[in-house]
Amino acid sequence: MSNVKALLISLVVSVFAVILLFSYISSKEKALLEMATPIQVILANRDIPEGMRIDSDMLELVKIPQKYVQPGAFNDSQRLINRNINVPVLKGTQILESMFIATESESIASKIPTNSRAFSVFVTDVTAVGKLIQPGDMVDLMVTVEVGSFQNGRSVSEEIITKTVLENILVLAVNQTSSKHRSISAGDINQTGAGNVFKTDSQGATRTKDKIKTMTVSLSPREVQILNLAQEIGTLSAALRSSFDSGKIENLPPLSAQEFLGINKSIIPRGNPAWVEIRGAEAFSR
C-alpha cells in the first residue's frame, strides 16, 4: 500500500513539474515571438552626408524583428521628407529622431554669450575671406574710409585710412546659417564610395556655398555702436583668425595710404571701374 501511495505522489509531482515546464517554455516562446514580430521601420538606402535634406529616394521601408528596433525609429517616411539630418548616416542604418536638428535648438538667441548682442553687417565674398568664414570662427573687423574736406560745397577726398575697429570677435552666423552644418540637397552630392559621408569635404561630399551677404557677430553693447558707425562711414572687411590663436588684441593704430606708401602726396581714390562683368544677376567689377 505504501508503494502505491509513493507512486501516486511521484506521478502527481511529475505531472506538476511537466505543467511548470510547459508554462515556462510557453512564456519564453511568447516572449521570443514578440521580439521576433516584424516591425516596419525606415532605413537609409544609401549613405547620407551630414546636413543633407532628406527626400524619398534616400529612404527604404523594411520589416525587422521588434527586438532590433531602436528607440526613436520611424515607420512613416512622410515625417522625414525635407528635414535636414544632423549627422552622417550609413546605408542600412535606422533613421532616428535624434539624428535631426530640433527647431528650437536653432534659435540664434541661445547662442549669444551673456551680456552680448547679435549684430549683422553687410559683407561680400571678398571682404569675408572668400566665403571661408563659418559660424564659430573668430575674426578681426576693419573699416576703410576716405577723409578730406568740403570745398565750394563739394567733398574733396584727401586721404584713405584703414583701421582695425574690433578684434577677436565671435561669428554667430553667416547669412542665415548659424551652425557649421550646411544644408545641402541630393544634387550637390558626388559620392565616390560607400561610407565616404564621414570624410571631409575634400574627400567625400561636395558642398555648395551661397554668396555671403551678411555676417552676424557677437558684440558688447558698446561694440555694437562702434560697428554700426563703422559700416555707415566706410567699407567693412573681415580677417579670419587662426583656430590656434590665443586671442591676443593688437590695438593697431590706423594706417593711412601716405604712411603705407611712404609719400606725402595726396592719394586720388580709385574711380568707377572701366568695365563691369555680369555674373548671374549681379554686377562684378574690378
Q: Residue 67: its pLDDT value, please?
A: 80
Q: How far is 140 from 241, CA to CA, in rounded Å?
A: 7
β-sheet bridge partners, residue 173:
216
Q: What is the pLDDT of residues 15-46, one digit of tens each?
A: 777 787 777 777 766 665 555 678 899 999 98
Q: What is the pLDDT of residues 79-89, one digit of tens each?
A: 888 888 888 88
Q: How far is 173 from 119, CA to CA, in rounded Å?
A: 10
Q: What is the pLDDT of residues 224-247, one digit of tens each?
A: 999 999 999 998 999 999 888 888
CB neighbour list of residue 79: distance below 8 Å, 6 or more residues apart: none
Question: b/e for 48-69, b at 16 or more Cβ within 10 A?
Answer: bbbbbbbeeebbbeeebeeeeb
**Quick one: cell of 227?**
560697428
What are the sequence ranges of the domains in the chain?
A: 107-175+210-285
Q: Tell me, yes or no, if the pTM score tops 0.85.
A: no
In angstroms, how far is the first alpha carbon of the chain from the final one? 119
Q: Residue 104: its pLDDT value, please?
A: 47
pLDDT band, very low/low/confident/very high, at 169 (cuts 50, 70, 90): very high
- Helix or strand or coil: residue 266? coil
Residue 286, pLDDT > 50, answer no
